[in-house]
Amino acid sequence: MHVTTADKRATFKKMHESGCFILPNPVDIGSAKALQHLGFKAIASSSAGFAWTIGKADNHVSVEDVCQHLAALSSAVDIPVNADFEGGFAVEPDRVADNVERCVRTGVAGLSIEDSTGDKDRPLYDRALAVERIEASRKAIGDSGTLLVGRCEAYLWGVTDLKLVIDRLTAYADAGADCLYAPGLKTREDISAVVKAVAPKPFNLLIGASGLSLQQAEDLGVRRISVGGSLARAAWGGFMRAAKEMAEKGTFTELGTGYPGGELNKMFG
């Protein structure tokens, strides 16, 4: 049965109404299909995970590359895809809006917009500009049914000011964000405070160093959990260990830890 983009978007919105779900991050079509095969109900792209597959560092890919990647993921699976759309690949709200329109046309069910500048001396956009960027994204999404995620990147850039994070996330919610996200939160107290502040809007947790399980995150009121580039790093870990062993020792024992080829063929058959 063919699942339409509209179906995926409707399903994704429904998933944000209650409970807590894991939103794992594939890096390509194969890993996206594998995650669907394992029973996940939705997936999200990873800016870092994708960048590494084309030999680039995170935040060094073009909007063209990313939109092609998102279109490939969205057409490869029958489950919703949420786009890690970084900062919208522009600064000015109108240019962010243009890129968001392109992203929506790829068939994604949701997309996130970050407020980081990439400049360690001034890591976040001024609050007013950051809000305008969310407002422009909301307008660009229009009535497509695509979910908008507003991200405050403060903690990832060393700005560990919870009041600032909450102020920004609530402002992004008022500007039209359907879901809020502040990667880098670690303590249960901080996570709980943000969840309560943005309610009834859903909150996305980057599981990271929090050490929480799915159930523990749900108990705190988290609606969805992302793992960012962690699955990609896990895959690279196995690849680099085996490759380094061959290069440095001339032995091949790490190759024995690989996932069985027969199982992969069955999954993709």
Instruction: Yes or no: say if 5 and 212 are a contact pair by the CB < 8 Å rule.
Output: no
Nearest Cα residue to 45 out of 116, 112, 142: 112
Q: What is the DSSP letter of 259?
A: P
Q: What is the pLDDT of residue 199?
A: 98
Give the torsion through C-alpha atoms of 38, 42, 44, 49, to 10 deg.
Answer: 10
Return d(Cα 129, Cα 44) in angstroms, integer: 26
For 208-233, letters b (16+ CB in 10 Å) and e give: bebebeeeebbebbbbbbbbbbbbbe
Structure tokens at 66: 């990313």
Q: What is the pLDDT of residue 209?
A: 76
Nearest Cα residue to 217 out of 226, 229, 227, 205: 205
Q: What is the pLDDT of residue 111?
A: 98
Instruction: Yes or no: say if 109 and 147 are a contact pair by the CB < 8 Å rule.
Output: yes
In single-letter form, the type of residue at position 44 comes to A
- Return the domain boundaries, the chain: 5-229
Q: What is the pLDDT of residue 1?
A: 65
Q: What is the pLDDT of residue 231?
A: 96
The contacts of residue 152 (CB under 8 Å, 6+ apart) are 115, 124, 164, 165, 168, 169, 172, 180, 181, 182
Q: What is the pLDDT of residue 25?
A: 98
Each residue's pLDDT expressed in tens, for the chain with a length of 269 residues: 689 999 999 999 999 999 999 999 999 999 999 999 999 999 999 999 999 999 999 999 999 999 999 999 999 999 999 999 999 999 999 999 999 999 999 999 999 999 999 999 999 999 999 999 999 999 999 999 999 999 999 999 999 999 999 999 999 999 999 999 999 999 999 999 999 999 999 999 999 878 899 999 999 999 999 999 999 999 999 999 999 999 999 999 999 999 999 999 999 99
Q: What is the pTM of this model?
A: 0.97
Kindly report the number of other CB atoms within 10 A of residue 170's CB atom: 17
Return d(Cα 104, Cα 188) in angstroms, integer: 34
Return d(Cα 232, Cα 173) in angstroms, integer: 30
**Which own/partner pairs from 171-174 qualify as long-range (CB within 8 Å, at least 24 positions apart)?**
171/127, 171/130, 171/131, 172/130, 172/131, 172/134, 173/198, 173/201
The contacts of residue 230 (CB under 8 Å, 6+ apart) are 25, 207
Q: Is the dihedral of CA 173, 211, 213, 233 positive or negative?
A: positive
The CATH class given to the 5-229 domain equals alpha beta
